[in-house]
Structure 1
Amino acid sequence: MTAPAMNSLSTLEYDWSRTDVGHPDGWPVTLRVATDLMLNSPLPALVLWGRRQVMLFNASYAALSGLPTQPPGGRIPAMQPSAWSWNPAALERAWQGESLVFPGQALQLWRADGVSEQRFDLYYTPLRDGEGSVLGILSTLGPPSAAAAASAARTLRMLVVEDNLDAQYLVCEMLRALGHEVDAAADAERAQQQLEERRYDVLFTDVSLPGISGVELARRAVARWPRLHVIFASGYSGTLTQQLDFPADAIQKPYDIEQLQAILDRIPLS
């Protein structure tokens, strides 16, 4: 990814009159400094300002995503940019004050000529006022590191078993964004059928399922396919793994993408 050459820029060189942030003379210092840094960054960068979801972006991000460069800010459209929408939980963590890095994250970029998938190292930095309150978020899209690129090349075949359909959808989309092949089932009975029909590398199952539990499903699956790697989603992950009579990992709810990716990175490809 090559960013276009940029001269030194400042907020005063743009006409902000048609945007939701108004003239820079009325901006808080935090917004002024963050925007100057963003405009001068050679990497694609965005600022999400306030809970009203006002978005500002630089020329590199405009070129990457096909957005118009004027005006450089405004309310986020109905379809949010993938830098914000790919993981709402991560964005909420940034609003709570965490600085986050997601190596090698795949983003779907929507342009006039269609959709393309590209990978970036994503950085989220909370923007604070003098009292420490988070007023906005700076997101920078860097080229994927060598380690992230190698990780992204690993494609695991995964079966997700989750009876909460909203949670099932979110985790499946997250795993697909990481480059994995994912099928889903809402109960253990259907999951057993799918395990018979296709070879999987990973069974990622909730512990509490209607009918047969996730633990019993995994026990039967590992007995039949010993190389299957099991990951449990559980409210008490540490206690659970100590009580099992077969190898498994467990991730405690609510979990995040970094925890899950760390487990997946340890799984050998079959």
Structure 2
Amino acid sequence: MSAISKPAGPAAGVDWRTSDFGDDAGWPHTLRLSMDILLGSPFPMLLVWGERRIVAYNSAYAELAGPHHPPAPGGRVPSVSPAPMAVAAEGFRRAAGGEALQLPRQRLTFLRANGPQQLDCDLHLTPLTDDSGAVAGVLCAVAPCAERQLAPPPVGLRVLVVEDNLDSQYLVCEMIKAFGHEADGVAHAEGALDMLAKHSYNVLFSDVSLPGMSGVDLARQALRNSPDMKVIFASGYGEAMLRHVEFPFQSLQKPYEIEQLQSSLDRIAAHGQG
């Protein structure tokens, strides 16, 4: 795995040096991005990382698990498997083999102040691949079933994510789902046009630089057929490639933070879905 510089997202606010993850200045890109998603999500999530199966979780998961659960963010190899891993061990094994899974109505047991309590939850398991393409971890989103939801979900948008880096694509889709929206991902403009022909989307979220057709040309063609669709660009080249774009759009400069993407989607949802 390739090392990166000190992360700038939510994970940067934690001193990881005493955890089993070690100093975050040496983390690979996938771990940094998935940890930012985990800690930035308002919904319960946990992360299982590496051959040692180090576990981290956010405050929403710690609250769901009850007062006897250690506080977030964790960062240890647990002596007792967390409830999702205990109940869905086979699902985690399959996810570690590269399979994205949705496991509905898993009965999890948490230790409350008055003893064990069972809660039905849907589990969403996303494999996380490293720079070599090997699965290095599993990100698990925990959604208490409707009758026990902690809070009503926000009004959802349907978002098409166009990103040729598959690790980033999967993680951005998972991030958008954690915000309460729907997301599909494709790796190039041609695949995006196929998806747009088959499905209706409220938002096109595209990298500006794509193999083949650029993200700008993709958006231009997509808006001819769906003029009410909103466009968000992600660019690592500043605003130079976007100076002469003739249609409305929002842009995020890479590397962007989770809060920036959430704010962009919130603005679109607040003004109607088009």
The normalised TM-score by structure 2 is 0.50
**2:155 corresponds to:** 154
Q: Number of paired residues?
A: 164
Which amino acid is the alignment partner of residue 111 of structure 1? L
The equivalent of 2:18 in structure 1 is 50
Partner of 2:178: 177
Residues 81, 241 of structure 1: CA spacing in aligned structure 2 closer, same or farther, 3 A cutoff?
farther
Query: How far did 1:208 drift?
Result: 1.3
Give the share of equivalent positions with the same residue, in percent. Answer: 47
Q: How far is the alpha carbon of 1:245 from its aligned partner? A: 1.4
Q: Does 1:116 align with 2:116?
A: no
1:141 maps to: none
- Please tell me whether the aligned partners of residues 158 and 181 of structure 1 are also in contact (alpha carbons under 8 angstroms): yes
Question: In the alignment, which residue of structure 1 is the partner of 2:219?
Answer: 218
Change (3 A) 1:265 1:240: farther
| Aligned counterpart, 2:64 | 64
- Residues 48, 56 of structure 1: 8 Å contact kept: no
Is residue 244 of structure 2 the alignment partner of residue 243 of structure 1? yes
1:7-46 → structure 2 map (5 Å cutoff): none
* Cα distance change on mapping 1:110 and 1:218 into 2, 3 Å: farther
Q: Deviations over 1:152-203 (max 9, x none)?
A: 5120000001111111011011111111111111111111011011110000
State the 1:48 CA deviation. 6.9
Q: Distance in 2 between matches of 1:74 and 1:247?
A: 42
Q: 1:269 aligns with which of 244, 266, 273?
A: 273
- Give the secondary-structure state (helix, strand or coil) at the position aligned to 1:266: helix
The code of the aligned residue for 2:121 comes to S
Kept in 1: contact 2:107–2:120 (CA 8 A): yes
- Residues of 2 paired with 1:171 and 1:216: CA distance? 22
Task: Tell me how far 1:116 sits from its aligned partner.
Answer: 3.2
Give SS of 1:204's match. strand
**Residues 174 and 110 (structure 1 numbering): CA distance in 2 closer, same or farther, change over 3 Å?**
farther
Deviation at 1:67, TM superposition (A): 8.3
Q: What is the DSSP-based 3-state SS (H/G/I as helix, E as strand, rest coil) of the residue aligned with 1:250? A: strand
Q: Secondary structure at the match of 2:175?
A: helix
In structure 1, the partner of 2:37 is none
Unaligned runs of 5+ in 2: 1-13, 22-53, 85-105, 110-117, 123-150
* Shift in Å, 1:111: 3.0
1 or 2 for the larger relative contact order (CA 8 Å, sep ≥6)?
2
Give, in whole Å, the separation in 1 of the partners of 2:83 and 2:253: 29
Please state whether the residue corresponding to 1:243 is helix, strand or coil.
coil
CA distance in 2, matches of 1:114, 1:56: 21
- SS of the residue corresponding to residue 239 of structure 2 reads helix
Taking the aligned partners of 1:191 and 1:74, their CA distance within structure 2 comes to 37
Aligned to 2:235: 234
Contact 2:20 2:75 in 1 (8 A): no
Aligned residue type for 1:248: F
CA RMSD of aligned residues (A): 4.1
The whole-number CA distance in structure 2 between the counterparts of 1:56 and 1:206 is 29
Mapped partners of 2:251, 2:56: distance in 1: 39
Deviation of 1:210 after TM superposition, in Å, equals 1.3
| 1:217–1:62 distance in 2 versus 1, CA, 3 Å | closer
Return the TM-score normalized by structure 1. Answer: 0.50
Contact residue 165 and residue 186 of structure 1 kept, 8 A = yes
User: Residue 184 of structure 1 aligns to a residue in which SS?
Assistant: strand
